[in-house]
Structure 1
């Protein structure tokens, strides 16, 4: 994972699929394969896929974990995608939605007939005689992870797709599952796939404790995500400084999965009140320790606001065009900035797990210093300089060289 940078895709949106299940099969996964050259040109080498399994609507109401959603294709389509990815050195991660299933899942239909005490009924959590909905979403019913049959089912799903070549799993809504319930599942799976990587979705909670108790490799760094956009909007970089130090503390236990955008949150270009600060978020993503992920379209400055309503995620999960030539030209500059900063990350791969010292902190300015392999990188942020010209690349003095910069920020390297 030291060298993996993910490009995250929400497949049903990316390929322009229907919003609900269909009769028959449409083979659309090749549309994602067609973007592999673009993924590599960007500088990424990992493809993180959202839900691909059979579901009723948005992919998180799974009805069969062993079958590909008919709006995307069939198992052979996924196998072809994995083969094409590996041929280009791209790792593939699937989204494991194991906290809940859709109401049309065969086991849940059986549970409704038999009731809570039936064999199928014990696969689910109940409130009295009513199945427990996940976070108020009636179409999602919560699995009972205390049931060994459920644990075995999850392990079988994971190993099935790992056997077909998948490299990693994102564990959806891990924060809602007791970490000790994942531990026996992962022990079983790792016996078959010792090199697989597992990252849990953690929005809140004890990140370090969850990793230690569950045996997963990493969790999503929502603390840092929130601090990045919030501190820039409020021009309160003390919040960022605190989050950076918290990120340092996690490195004793694990390396977090870092991001500034994903399929569940308003696009970074829409959440920031000043678009001139977008490059600062990109610099932070590739400077700070973590396993970074770029959400498809963020590298082009896509905008989209998440709304709390049915269909409220559609704006942040759009269809991607036929090819890069169909993208709007105004996104090219941000794409090139991603390339440049990913290049910095590639040349200094020790940043993956490097602790960062916070210096010269004020509301509008901060200096962040990371060291490794007898090198030192310094990211300087000064929000009062957003109207200034970028610091030119090249030597600052005889000891330091600017390797990337823009209005209000710069990254310099030196030999320690």
Structure 2
């Protein structure tokens, strides 16, 4: 894969939360509320952060959280209308930012018009074939049973063996790419047969050969899923888990093991890497020692892949995900009207993000870099990141004491803090350094 994708660093935003929209469409009233312009006001903040694209959570009409879609072709009235979306895309592109959309193509909301027509008209309805419907004897007015996503009755699975579903998803993806989007995240891609994407994506790429497509995959054989689906990448949940778990347990062996597996993935594709997103507890909450936030970010920005920063993480926002109704609210908060209204204590973390994103952008070869461990213990990890004849050395120290590491052929500290001497590199307690 070549082109703009190889330089992408994403700022991931959950729009319905970011703008403080009502929890459900039913609470929003009949007229669009033009809130997307609030996001336009934050694009300069994203540029100053150093990212090259904004990855948007769901923006299409939905019943509640965005993942229960009611209309793939319309902007959610809680966010605004098509003119607001067009203005957002234009403003982003004027600043050199790409736009990624969130495609929820595994399922729709229970009140999706096609499903309601199928339920009302019975198994002979044209829309009935879009879903997995099991009709009781006699059909309507009795409602059919249907396949739901992971037991959520409000999320009705599409029938991915059906040609009409292939046509629908292809049409939606091309529609919004024509509207100016540059990339797609495929929600719950792990629940959709890879063969389905092999029917959709080539048709999309015929018109949009440069589109970047990343699938949400939590577990499984990542390289095989990418190969069999035709996607460019999948989400790297293995590394996400190892980073916070290894830092909490002072167990860099877990991180090193995950990076070995990560190297294997990079042989096939560069994954989408992250230390936070809209579905998980905030990094600053997940980590038992807030000093380790820096170590997690250093890992994110110095290993291969396409990094993504979840909005608010760059300000050290806290938030606990809970398995209950409304349990995602804390990790999907509203942003203030302007950057000046953010709490003062978050800005040092923002500046750390700036420093490390800048480092990454000065070394674009890191996109495909492999790592090699140089020194490893429970509380010390030194590794080399290398590709295309280029090389950086990273030292991470979780101990209460200064760490000394023998690292050959380094001459300067590019980020972090370290003393270079003839007997090696000294990194402060709970410190880190990137060396060149």
Superposition TM-score tier, normalisation by shorter sequence: over 0.9
CA distances 1:154-203 after superposition (whole Å, capped 9, x unpaired): 00000000011100000000000010111110011101111100000000
Q: How far does residue 374 in structure 1 lie from its aligned partner after superposition?
A: 3.6
Partner SS state of residue 413, structure 2: strand
- Residues 10, 261 of structure 1: alpha-carbon distance in 2 compared, 3 angstrom cutoff: same
Q: How far does residue 373 in structure 1 lie from its aligned partner after superposition?
A: 4.4
Distance in 2, matches of 1:399 and 1:61, equals 52
Structure 1 residue runs without a partner (length 5+)? none
Match of 2:179 among 164, 168, 190: 164
TM-score (normalised: structure 2): 0.91
Distance in 1, matches of 2:99 and 2:12, equals 10
Alignment of 1:401-416 (within 5 A): 401-405=412-416, 408-414=430-436
Partner SS state of residue 400, structure 1: coil
Residue matched to 2:220: 205
The more displaced of 129-138 and 97-106 is 129-138
- Residues 328, 260 of structure 1: alpha-carbon distance in 2 compared, 3 angstrom cutoff: same
Residue matched to 1:328: 343
Distance in 2, matches of 1:187 and 1:2, equals 20
Q: How far does residue 270 in structure 1 lie from its aligned partner after superposition?
A: 0.5
Give the paired residue count: 408
Q: How far does residue 284 in structure 1 lie from its aligned partner after superposition?
A: 0.5
Residue matched to 1:184: 199
Q: Considering only aligned residues, what root-mean-square deviation do their CA atoms show, in Å?
A: 1.7
Distance in 2, matches of 1:92 and 1:160, equals 14
Does structure 1 residue 38 correspond to structure 2 residue 45?
Answer: yes
Residue matched to 2:107: 100
Does structure 1 residue 238 correspond to structure 2 residue 245?
Answer: no
Q: How far does residue 103 in structure 1 lie from its aligned partner after superposition?
A: 1.0
CA distances 1:263-289 after superposition (whole Å, capped 9, x unpaired): 000000001111111110110110111
Q: How far does residue 408 in structure 1 lie from its aligned partner after superposition?
A: 2.7
CA distances 1:63-108 after superposition (whole Å, capped 9, x unpaired): 0000000000111111111111101100000000000000111111
Residue matched to 1:281: 296
Match of 1:269 among 275, 284, 301: 284
Does structure 1 residue 305 correspond to structure 2 residue 312?
Answer: no
Does structure 1 residue 4 correspond to structure 2 residue 8?
Answer: yes
Match of 2:269 among 228, 231, 254: 254
Residue matched to 1:47: 54
TM-score (normalised: structure 1): 0.95
Structure 2 residue runs without a partner (length 5+)? 136-143, 418-428
Residue matched to 1:347: 362
Distance in 2, matches of 1:366 and 1:180, equals 40
CA distances 1:373-412 after superposition (whole Å, capped 9, x unpaired): 4432111112104x76x99xxxx99842111115534333
Residue matched to 1:58: 65
Distance in 2, matches of 1:56 and 1:279, equals 38
Q: How far does residue 122 in structure 1 lie from its aligned partner after superposition?
A: 1.5
The more displaced of 318-327 and 16-25 is 16-25
Distance in 1, matches of 2:416 and 2:185, equals 33
Residue matched to 2:424: none
